[in-house]
Structures are given as structure tokens and as C-alpha cells.
Structure 1
Amino acid sequence: MIAIDEVKETPEIVNLASIYQIMVLKEYPINIMMTGVPKNVSELQNNDVLTFLLRSGRVPLGPLDLFDIKYRYQKAFERGNKEIDNNTLMKITKLTKGYAYAFQDLGYYVWQNSDNKVTEESVEKSIPLFKNDLFRNAYTKILSELSPTDRKFLFIMANCPKNIVEISYIREQMKKSSNYISQYRQRLMDSQVIVDAGYGKVTFSLPFMKDFLLEAAELYGIEE
């Protein structure tokens, strides 16, 4: 069993997949499991010499279930003999937006900033550290891998005064057709940066992504 994380269409991965195909044809007892962001997985599957990967099983992984996050936070604090009321538990659960890295990172800081009881103050102390980790360790990388048009789409969303943004608003700002906007909307949804928020509406799927984009624009002067 071969397991590869953060897969991309690199020469090494293409070569490995080609060798794997040969070994499967020769009926060797071998399996391969690869994980990665949807865009990178699609690029690998659509490589001209790896079309056999299109027949492989593909399991899309969405956000973590918020009920499950709440339960696991509760049990973790109980095991650590840390008291936490339901309102605080709900707050930290919602702050994660189901993002796996956020679930781990926020839980760590809230734990570190609390004694025998997790309080509102514990959470407030944790948020700046939590945001810094998200921005530095995850969002900077995510943004760097997007196309200029993807980024422009996101910056328009970030500058909109509403958290739920009308597609018509983005279309007007970009001065492009509905079909053009739909392509980039789908690309960003596939990359799990935004989610559908009702007919003709989208919103950010990741916690504090709006804040990150606004700060990035100011600090680095990038808006597309």
C-alpha cells in the first residue's frame, strides 16, 4: 500500500503512477492512495499518459461536521478536567467553519490559554494566534496557487460589505459575462475556498478568509 499526501502533477508522481499501472497489469498485490486539493488531483487524473486514473475511485472530502467538532471539543476538555459552558463551546465550534486545520489549531490555543475553565477570555486570547497561523501557514499558500482571475474574484468578495455576496455583484465588478464568472465560481468552490450560499450567492468557506484578503491587500498591495 502506497500513500501519498499533497499530490501534484510532478514528473516524479507521473512516473510513479505509470509504474503503478504496469504493476497492476502484472497483477502485483499493490494499491495506491493519493490525497490532495481537488484542482491538483484533477490535473493529475487528466494527464495524457495517466488517463487510467480517471477510472480510479475519487472521494471528495468536505468540511468536518460541526456537531462532531463540538462533541470532540467537549470530550477533550472533559478529559482534561477543563470546564466549558455550552455558549463558549458553540462559539469555538462555529469559528472553525469545519476546516480541519482550524479545528486542531484553535483547540490547541484555547487549551493553552485556559486553566480549569475555558472562558470567553480564553477564546479571545486565542483568536489572534489562531488567525496568524491560518494566514501564515495556510492562506498565503492557498492564495499563491490561485490564478490572477481567481484572486480578483476573491478580493472583490472580500471588499463587498456583505458576508454573503451576490454573483451579480461580482459580475458587475469584473465586467464579465455570466458564463465567464460561473467558471471561476466553480473553480473556487472546487478548491474549497468559497461555498454556495443560496441561489446566485456565495460566501467564504474558510474562517477569517475575508480578513486575510483585506490584510494581504494592504500589506502587500495585491488585489488580483
Structure 2
Amino acid sequence: MTPPPLNDACLAILLACELLGAAAQTVHLPLLLARRGGAEGRLGAAFELLVAAHLYMAVDFTCCCAFVGNPYLAPVALGAGWSWRLWANAAAFACGAALAVRKKDPLDLMAAALLALCAPPAMEALGGVWNLVALVDAPFFLARALLALVGDVQRHKSELTRFSIAETMNTVPVGALVVDAGGRSLLLNDSMRALLRDLGLRRGTPAWTASSTKARA
């Protein structure tokens, strides 16, 4: 039984989910690629790139449906001149399935299953029923991208950087000064700088100091 066609309000909500998901995935990608990883890292990066391509294609053919006034997404997507690009969803399914097996992650397995349903053979077989897939696909990948961004933020906060070291040193109530063998300052916090100034002493220009690091941040 063919489900009811998507009205304008449904298409607008679907498009909004796809646009937000594509934007969140675009922000997540450089954060993911900046991290180091082995074979699983490369496979994961390829999968996330293909997910981004999937979301941009979804935005494209949802806009086409709204433009031509066809309430069934699959026939419009398959009949478009760029429908060959939908085969990227098959490649995304292969990457996602391999990643899900390696990581034993049910979320990646669900993502791979949805991507398989977005490949041309599945869309042709489902026809008008494929609207139901689209209504699950868009919010799922939006939630997945937002969850990935939350993980990126938490991971960034837990990383030890020279900026976090500098901020910590400036909260210490005692002076701290680290110099190299030549007597050049490597680390100088605000408390020690104030003490040196009160004593009328100079330690030279530090390689990087707590306050100067904060200023550059």
C-alpha cells in the first residue's frame, strides 16, 4: 500500500532536517580529520565524507520535489539527470557496514542500513513507499551529526594543550618560572612576572608565557 504523498509542510520539515544535518556534518568533518587514526580512522573518515555527500544529495532532490510539485521523492530522484550520484550511497553502505562490524556499533549499522535503502535498486523497488525511508533518514542523520559534534566538543575539552597549561599556570597563586640552559624563559606566569617586576628584575623575552598565550588564543 502506497503511503500518502508528502505535502508542502512535510517537504519543508524534511528539507530543514537535511539542511541542518548537512551543516552539522560539514562542521564535524574537519574536526574528525584533524584527529589521528589508523586503518579504522581512515575508514571512518571515508564513511563520514560519504554521509556528508548523502545529506547534500538529499537536500538537492528534496528541493527538486518541491520545485516540480511531485510528492513522491524516489521517482524524482531516480529520474533526475544526476541520479547516477545516488550510487555513492551504495559505497557509503559498504563503508558503514565494514565500520559497524569492526567497531560493533549498532548506530553505524543502522546508518549503513538507511544508506543501503537510499541506493538506486532499493529506491526503484520501494517506489512511493520510499517516502517513509526519507522521513526516517533525515532526522536520524541530523541527530547523528549533532551527537558527533557534542563528542567533538567534549573531546576537545579533555585534550591537554599548551593553552590549557597556560590558563592553569595563571591560576596558581605562587610564581612559576621555567628557563632553558641558556637562561631564556620558557614559561612565566603572571604571579612570577609581578614578583620580578617588584624586584626590578628582567628575565628576557619568554618563548611563550601564560598571558601571551592567552592573548594569542
TM bucket, shorter chain: under 0.3
Choose 1 or 2 for highest CA Rg. Answer: 2
Q: Which has the higher strand share?
A: 1
Under a length normalisation based on structure 1, what TM-score does the superposition of the two structures give?
Answer: 0.21
Structure with more contact order per residue of length (Cα contacts < 8 Å, sep ≥ 6)? 2
Q: Which has the higher helix share?
A: 2
